[in-house]
Structure 1
Amino acid sequence: MNRRFDPSRRDRIIDVTIEAIAEVGVAGLSARKVATRADVPLGSMTYHFTDMDELLREAFTRFADRVARRFEERMGSASTVAEAKAAVARTIHEDVFDTPASLVLTHELYTLAARVPAYRTITRDWMRRSRSALERHFSPATARQLDALVEGLTIHRALDTEPHDVEVTLDAIEKICQDGAAQG
């Protein structure tokens, strides 16, 4: 029996899982659906992953890593506090939920993390990385507040039917930074 050598199979399965979650959600996912979408034998699923839970953790970890890396790059490109504030606003208005799939994936992860403690490791690492990127320019307390602002405003912006004004976002960032400076 010939076995097809496919060194990228595991990665393809993870990537297809991310796409499938965005389309059908975690509840609509099965090993069979993922295997079909990835064009791999169903047995490959158990060869590469002990169960669907491991596959989901790998997929959400990859997704969170991509988003965190993009945020780290955005914040790393700022060389002044003013540029960092503008970078936070651009993140909210351009990056975090840049596609409907990103919105769905984020909320699917949040839902799992709320229900299953093992997924909180993924969200905690994502938050830690976000705050660390913010702390390049802001105090830890201000970074925590800005991180919450990013999360909250991106959700509002993604789900609201009215457009969000970047100037309002910049004003909120400024107020958080002023309050943080007054407390620090």
Structure 2
Amino acid sequence: MKRRQRGPADPDRRERIAQAAVTLVAEYGVHALTHRKVAAEAGVPLGSTTYYFASLDDLVAAALNKAAERSVADLREWERGLPADVNLATALADFVVRSVGEKRADTMAEYNLYALALHRPHLRQAAVDWDNALAEVLQGRTDPLTGRMVAVLLCGLLMQAVLSDERPVRSDIEVLIRRALGGQG
């Protein structure tokens, strides 16, 4: 990768390093994350990764925040693009299929990082904020309880889908979501 200049000429270095960590987690898993590999992926000197992220835990926290931020932004953009009269069950089923199909690497990285929060309390708030953002988007299309319930269902469906080698069947997902929506679409 091309090396970038230091200081004011490279104001996005910290963000690039965090994004490189997300990319590596998507490709190799959290266990393979090292400062050296992240530096190579980001195209920065090794010292830059340790300057911005003193410990590997700091780097993992930044990666989780970056993945959550990107996921929530994508979700909000997706929701804004839906027509007011959309069949929500169909749209959400398509969202799940896309998330574990063309966006599988991103979803894998997100859930790898999300699962780390179980054993690393300092990561939990980012994971909770992520869940809340998903529920908030869905509550805007339903009601508070239904939005929260469907958010939990989507998290479970996404986790199951990335754990399986088999692609989920869109119609099966839609049936589950439709039931959670109380038969509404």
> In the alignment, is residue 134 of structure 1 matched against residue 126 of structure 2?
no
1:106 paired residue number:
110
What percentage of residue pairs aligned between the two structures are identical? 30
> Any conservation in 1 of the 2:135–2:147 contact (CA below 8 Å)?
yes
2:31 paired residue number:
27
Deviation at 1:56, TM superposition (A): 1.6
The alignment partner of 2:78 has SS state of: helix
Deviation at 1:33, TM superposition (A): 2.2
Deviation at 1:116, TM superposition (A): 0.7
Greater C-alpha radius of gyration: 1
1:13 paired residue number:
17
TM-score by length of 2: 0.82
> Any conservation in 2 of the 1:97–1:103 contact (CA below 8 Å)?
no
2:61 paired residue number:
57
Question: Which stretch of structure 1 is more off in the superposition, 37-46 or 119-128?
Answer: 37-46
1:157 is aligned with what amino acid?
A
Residues 37-116 of structure 1 correspond to what in structure 2 (within 5 A)?
A: 37-80=41-84, 82-95=86-99, 98-116=102-120
TM-score by length of 1: 0.83
Deviation at 1:119, TM superposition (A): 1.1
Q: Which runs of 5+ in 1 are unaligned?
A: none
Equivalent-residue separation in structure 1 for 2:29 and 2:82 (angstroms):
35
Cα separation, partners in 2 of 1:26 and 1:159, compared to 1, 3 Å: closer
Equivalent-residue separation in structure 2 for 1:95 and 1:161 (angstroms):
14
Deviation at 1:163, TM superposition (A): 4.0
In the TM superposition, what whole-angstrom CA distance separates every residue of 1:69-125 from its partner, at most 9, and x where no partner exists? 111222233344643332211211113663342243123213211101111111111
Equivalent-residue separation in structure 1 for 2:167 and 2:53 (angstroms):
42
Cα separation, partners in 2 of 1:177 and 1:36, compared to 1, 3 Å: closer
> Any conservation in 1 of the 2:17–2:39 contact (CA below 8 Å)?
yes
> Any conservation in 1 of the 2:96–2:154 contact (CA below 8 Å)?
yes
1:125 paired residue number:
129
The alignment partner of 2:181 has SS state of: helix
Count of aligned pairs: 178
Cα separation, partners in 2 of 1:85 and 1:8, compared to 1, 3 Å: same
Question: Which stretch of structure 1 is more off in the superposition, 83-92 or 61-70?
Answer: 83-92
Equivalent-residue separation in structure 1 for 2:115 and 2:144 (angstroms):
26
Equivalent-residue separation in structure 1 for 2:166 and 2:47 (angstroms):
47
Q: Which runs of 5+ in 2 are unaligned?
A: none
Cα separation, partners in 2 of 1:110 and 1:14, compared to 1, 3 Å: closer
2:176 is aligned with what amino acid?
A
Q: CA RMSD in A?
A: 2.4
